[in-house]
Each structure stands twice: as structure tokens, then as C-alpha cells.
Amino acid sequence: MSVAFAGNSTTTPSREAGPLRVMIVDDSVVIRGLISRWIGAEHDMEVAASLRTGLEAVNQLGRINPDVAVLDIEMPELDGLSALPQLLAKKRDLVIIMASTLTRRNAEISFKALSLGAADYIPKPESTREASAADIFHHDLIQKIRHLGARLRRKSAVLSPPLAPASPAPAARGPVARPAAPAPAPAMHAPSPGSPSTRPFSTQAPKVLLIGSSTGGPQALMSLVTELGPVIDRFPVLITQHMPPTFTTILAEHLARSSRRPAREAVDGEPVKPGRIYLAPGGKHMRVVRSGADVAIALDDGPAVNFCKPAVDPLFTSAIDVWHGAILSVILTGMGSDGMRGGKDIVAAGGSVIAQDEASSVVWGMPGAAANAGICAAILPLNQIGAKVNRLFAGDRS
């Protein structure tokens, strides 16, 4: 996701690698306490501050100097959406994760926050007394903090100029450049030694476009569908984005506006036709099935797959029984490896997989898993995927 930053701020100078410093901003003492305990139990992160309002966060940001902020939407004095641009104006590389309950208003605000520079969002459970909801919130929050924070540090290490050889400097000269975090640096767009290998595209003409995405996906999807009009008009397009209920409703509306084509949450049993985008609804897996001579949506309320519901793999694997090898699948930015197993099955059936490259991904988990598994016919920056998809559906096989 491309992120716009306010003002003329600069990146805070890097410091020695250590635990990620997390600032919690929420007017609920219960939520602050809960998140603080979770973070305190992790070896690679620490609570930098626990604050009640957005105003406190803005005023104390320089002193606290966090890597990541978990920012509530509804707070007294200064709400999260208003605090967001002020925080980024003071520290442009601050990773901000918006937290909100599952209401339509908060979902719309979360999407607005993404356009203003928030790195991601996370839905808060209505009640932390519900064990399963609290467990999901716990798991997702810690993973988002870890992966988004690690990406920030890798980016900072790549952008930091190397020190020229010199005589030892006095300690008073200030901190030396810290080493990169123990993770690979973002891949460049040009192939390099050790880059994941690719395979030829299928010789079969694709009859359907399947897309899977997670962290960073909403912005990537809205960018991608603006280029896919010719494909959407002639072929069905089905998307699974890791996202809860209500949020998928809003995402479908955004996709419709971006693509200028019909887009909505899929309905169980409805026929799959060209000319529209079908989005897996939050909390349900989306599959496709044969229904006589037609293809229909089949929604599934079964257990989570790859810790996700909806998950990408059920869509990918179900499509093979319908379209066999005439499938083009795209795996966009996201945590985890969802879509990789389904992508393997698609390739084995004769279809093709495109993965978003690391440099343009918010998190290179899902596309990276597919790329490293050797199942991709192309690994492309986001701004090249749309043109490639259009060419493939127009008859290009290379």
C-alpha cells in the first residue's frame, strides 16, 4: 500500500535494534491493560506508553518515540482519526494500527484512516469476556505489530546509508547505525541472484480471475481493480480478503467505486457471472460449485483455515473442480501463507499464479510463500499486475 504522509516531517533516526516499542492509545482502561499484558509477554516487543487520549499521544510522541501505535478510533479530547495525521506529521515512519469495534461507522473510519497513512486496522471484540473473540484479537494484534514493525525496521536499514570506514569516533559522536533486523531485505523489482524462480504461464486461456489478499490488501485491491475493467466485463472475478463482517460490506462498496463495475459480498447460491466482482463476506469461506450448467457461490461457516475466515485456499481449491486449469490467480500482500496451498493445486491442475513482489507489499507473507514455493509464473510490483492480467485474458501466454 502506498502511504501518503502529512507535512515536511522526516524519519526518526534509527536506534540499535531491540524490542519493538508499542504505544497503546485507548480510553478504555480494560483494553489498555489487556494489550499491555499481551505485549509484555512477547520477547520482541515492549510497551512504550499506555495513554488515554489521542491528544496525550500527539503531545508525548517525541518523548516516547514508539515504533508502533495501536490507536483507538473513539476517544475524548482528540479521536483516533484526528490524531492520525498529527502523529504522522511528527514521525512519518510511525506504524499506526487503528483499532475499532465492528460498526459500520467505525469500518468507514478505518478505511479513511488507511487513505491517511495508517498501516492497518484491527477490529476490537464487543466484549473481552468472550474467549474466542479475545483470542482472535490477541493473535491478530500481536502478528500485525510484529510483521508491520519488522517491515519498518528492514526498510529503515535498507535506506540508512552505510558508514564510511573511519577511525574510531569518540562516544560523544552519537549512536552508530544499527544492524538490520534478522530478516531479508525487501526484494528489488529486477531479478537478482537467489530470487524465487518462476515457471511458464499456462497455455490454457483463463476463464476466471481469483484474488487473495490480507494485510495491506484493501488499498492494493482498490488500486488493482481500477485497471481490470476489460477483464471484469468478460469474466467473473472472485476475491477473498481477510476481513471481518461489516468491513467486507464497506470494502465491496469501495471496490465498486474504484472499478466502476458491480461489486458486492457474495450470496450463498447466487450464480457466478461475468461483469461483476464477488467478495467473500466476513466470517464465511467462499467457494464455487457447479449448479447444473452454471457456476454458483457456496458460503461455508466452517472452522478457520490458516487462522482466517474467510480464507483464500478454500476459494482457490474449489475453483479447480469448476474451471479445471483455466484459472488465473493473484496473491497480493498479506501475513501468513494463505493461498499458497490452493495456488499449488491450481498450478498442478494447469492454471497460473501471479504474486505481488516484496518491495510493493505491506507484508510479503502470502505472496512470498507462493513465490518461494516456486509456483508463480510472475512476481510483479502492484502497479504492473493489472496490465499483465489484462494481457493474459486478451490472449498473451508469456
Catalytic residue numbers, as ranges: 214, 242, 338
> Among candidates 386, 366, 371, 361, which has minimal Cα distance to 119?
361
**Separation of CA 224 from chain center:** 14
The amino acid occupying position 15 is R
DSSP for 295-333 reads EEEEEE----BTTBSS-HHHHHHHHHHHHTT-EEEEE-S
State how far the alpha carbon of 151 is from the alpha carbons of 95, 127, 222, 289, in Å: 10, 31, 22, 38
- Let me know: does 76 contact 51? Beta carbons within 8 Å: no
Helical H segments across 41-130, by residue range? 54-64, 80-90, 104-116
Q: Would the CA dihedral through 174, 176, 177, 179 be positive or negative?
A: negative
DSSP states of 25-41 as a string? E-S-HHHHHHHHHHHHT
User: Going by C-beta distance under 8 Å and a sequence separation of 6 or more, which residues neighbour residue 267?
Assistant: 297, 299
